Amino acid sequence: MARHSELPPIFVVSLERVPERRAFVEHAFGEAGLPFEIVPAVDAQQLSTAEVGAYSSRRAMYEYGRELNRGELACSLSHLRVLRQMVDERLPSAVVFEDDTRPLSGFDDLLRAHRSLPAGWDILTFHSLFTGAFPKPVRDEPISGCYRLCRYGRTPMGTQAYLITQQAAQRVLEVAFPIGLPADEVLFRPRPAALDVYGVEPAPVAEESFPSEIRVAAPPIADHGPVAQLGLAATRFAGRVRHRLHRRRRIERA
């Protein structure tokens, strides 16, 4: 679909084998009058040898504290696919949607207002999965309509919809492999990408109730023997120690 000359291009990550999601996307963006481009999602049920090979159990245990499942790996690979495309096309910025999320009224005006974001911003999330992220407005006046720019007291979660710069996308691609973190952890947590994160409140997008493709029961990505499992347990313990040390340092600096 043709791109809008005034707005950042919108990419929608969508599974080809779930036609009801594609139909939802077509309707939602058609109703909003927003052009978009479908990027085929990586299918957790059909992971290739190369896609499985992009995963690291050791990194997952050290940085995340547990193994990823196939749905989480596929989701991360899908978002990295979009970021690779925008970097290859040298797009200054781009919007990424998942195919269970739709833009609300005024989303196009909000996108037009992105040029007024603070200098040095990297990523702007349009949807945080939990209120415990503690959004805090950074300006008295709205950025557009009723929408206010915010920072978060805790890391926001969810990759339903966000705007990202080319520079930030390149940084994520440099640190994301081998994959050991879910997509939202790579994009929004302080390490390893260290992006400058902003958000918009109230959420200018809405998530629909489709069956989760991430939580579908499936065999583990990797099958480890007893010795390897002991090594991974030690790696997880080391990661927890590192996390506690970093947390203590943050508290001391606060």
Contacts of 12 (CB under 8 A, 6+ apart): 25, 29, 36, 37, 38, 39, 96, 97, 98, 99
Under 8 Å between Cβ of 44 and 73: yes
The pTM of the full predicted model, rounded to 2 decimals, is 0.91
Is pLDDT of 181 > 90?
Answer: yes
CATH number of 10-208: 3.90.550
- Residue 136 CA to residue 128 CA, distance in Å, equals 13
The number of beta carbons lying within 10 Å of the beta carbon of residue 176 is 21
Q: What is the mean pLDDT of residues 196-212?
A: 91
Between helix 166-175 and helix 70-88 the angle, nearest 10°, is 130
- Residue 165 CA to residue 77 CA, distance in Å, equals 18
**Mean of all residue pLDDT scores within the chain:** 91
- Token pair of 201 as six digits: 């409140």
Per-residue confidence band for 250, with pLDDT thresholds at 50, 70 and 90: low
Q: What is the pLDDT of residue 71?
A: 94
- Residue 192 CA to residue 181 CA, distance in Å, equals 10
Contacts of 238 (CB under 8 A, 6+ apart): 62
Tens of pLDDT, residues 131-178:
788 999 998 899 999 999 999 999 999 999 999 999 999 999 999 999
Q: What is the pLDDT of residue 5?
A: 67
Q: What is the pLDDT of residue 186?
A: 96
Tens of pLDDT, residues 63-101:
999 999 999 999 999 999 999 999 999 999 999 999 999
| Helix runs in the chain, H state only | 19-32, 49-53, 57-59, 70-88, 107-112, 166-175, 183-188, 226-253
Q: What is the pLDDT of residue 1?
A: 56
Calculate the dihedral angle through the C-alpha atoms of 122, 180, 84, 165, rounding to the nearest 10 degrees.
0
Q: What is the pLDDT of residue 108?
A: 95
Segment 211-214 long-range contacts (CB within 8 Å, at least 24 positions apart): 212/71, 213/15, 213/18, 213/44, 213/71, 213/74, 214/44, 214/69, 214/71, 214/72, 214/74, 214/75
Q: What is the largest CA-CA distance in the chain?
A: 58
Q: What is the pLDDT of residue 63?
A: 94
Residue 231's SS3 state is: helix
- Residue 199 CA to residue 162 CA, distance in Å, equals 9
Average the pLDDT over each of 142-146, 190-194, 232-236 and give the range with the smallest value. Answer: 232-236
